[in-house]
Amino acid sequence: CTATCSRQGFQSRILQCVWYGSSRPAGNACRDQQRPIVMRPCKGPPCQSSERQLH
């Protein structure tokens, strides 16, 4: 998550289409397929006592 000290941020992942079994890149074979979400909102870890004083 890109956020710090209980703030809002984003979490992302890399998505690659591969052939089942071989895990080799499938190239254009996936272009018509629905793609899963690659980014979502997230909340950063709790603030430490010293961080609370700075914000």
Give the integer Cα–Cα distance in Å for 26 and 30.
Answer: 7
Give CA–CA dist 48/8, Å, rounded.
16
Overall pTM surpassing 0.85 (yes/no): no
User: Alpha-carbon distance 11 to 3, whole Å?
Assistant: 9
E strand map for 1-55: 8-12, 39-43
1-55 pLDDT, tens digit per residue, is: 899 888 899 999 999 999 999 999 998 999 998 989 999 999 988 888 765 555 5
